């Protein structure tokens, strides 16, 4: 894939626009920014700042860091690797400095860059899978609200692409995840882009490394919407389909079509 010579710096105003909607929704639903004390970094913990830059490619695609996205198809692509082939799964994708003991895939991309790609492709963040929180940050049993448009424009499908015997293979990632009780593959339910949130001026998904969660997480950028997404002891890597640990893959995100 050839790149053009033009590299465009993303203005700080764009970064604010990309994050503001998630922050406002969080504050409106709870009266304050949500808190997850057991997951957020300590106030004095250093978190590297991200300076996004948009690169224009010759084929019409765009690139932010390692995240490539296509304004026409609204597809997003980024590199990852197999993190585990056995053991319970709570996450689909985490940053390499995140919760790697419970995630199928690991990556080193920036959550901020991925979130900006979603915003620039006109996806709408839906908070319907985020629990409402008490003033002290503890979960309630109720979910936050989302408009019909937010629900419609937040649905995505996640695929994985890899090289097999000299050819490129692309399949829905759900085929790599099994239910421990039924021993069936994960159902073809949409994943939902929720957008995570800002807390004390920090983008939480960037701080925690939580990119895509199977077991519902308020901090994750993306959550699985299907049955048993509130259980943390039912999802496992498929025993025969998942490639060996360390195998490089490309994650593909696209609009969900039922």
* Residue 192 · residue 222 · CB < 8 Å: yes
The total domain count for the chain is 1
Q: What is the pLDDT of residue 119?
A: 96
Low-confidence ranges of the chain (pLDDT < 70): 1-52
> Would you say the pTM of this structure is higher than 0.85?
no
Q: Give the DSSP H/E element, type plus range, for residue 170.
A: strand 167-172
Note the pLDDT tens digit of each residue in 202-257.
999 999 999 999 999 999 999 999 999 999 999 999 999 999 999 999 999 999 98
Domain interval for residue 70: 3-255
Q: What is the pLDDT of residue 53?
A: 82
Q: What is the pLDDT of residue 163?
A: 93
Contacts (Cβ under 8 Å, ≥6 apart) of 214? 89, 90, 91, 92, 177, 224, 229, 235
Q: What is the pLDDT of residue 45?
A: 55
Q: What is the pLDDT of residue 41?
A: 53
């Amino acid at each position: 894939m050839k790149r053009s010579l033009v590299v465009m710096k993303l203005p700080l105003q764009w970064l604010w626009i990309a994050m503001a909607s998630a922050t406002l929704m969080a504050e409106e639903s709870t009266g304050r920014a949500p808190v997850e004390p057991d997951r957020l970094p300590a106030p004095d913990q250093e978190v590297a700042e991200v300076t996004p830059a948009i690169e224009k490619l010759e084929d019409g695609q765009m690139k932010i860091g390692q995240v490539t996205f296509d304004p026409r198809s609204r597809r997003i692509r980024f590199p990852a690797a197999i993190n585990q082939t056995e053991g319970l799964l709570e996450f689909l994708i985490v940053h390499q400095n995140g919760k790697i003991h419970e995630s199928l895939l690991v990556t080193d991309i920036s959550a901020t860059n991925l979130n900006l790609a979603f915003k620039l492709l006109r996806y709408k963040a839906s908070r319907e899978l985020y629990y409402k929180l008490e003033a002290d940050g503890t979960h309630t049993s109720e979910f936050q609200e989302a408009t019909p448009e937010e629900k419609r424009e937040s649905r995505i499908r996640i695929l994985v692409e890899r090289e097999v015997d000299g050819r490129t293979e692309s399949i829905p990632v759900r085929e790599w995840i099994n239910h421990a009780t039924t021993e069936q593959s994960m159902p073809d339910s949409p994943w939902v882009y929720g957008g995570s949130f800002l807390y004390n001026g920090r983008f939480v998904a960037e701080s925690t490394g939580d990119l895509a969660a199977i077991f519902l997480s308020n901090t994750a950028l993306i959550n699985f919407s299907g049955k048993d997404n509130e259980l943390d002891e039912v999802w496992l890597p498929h025993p025969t389909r998942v490639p060996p640990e360390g195998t490089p893959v490309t994650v593909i995100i696209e609009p969900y079509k039922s």
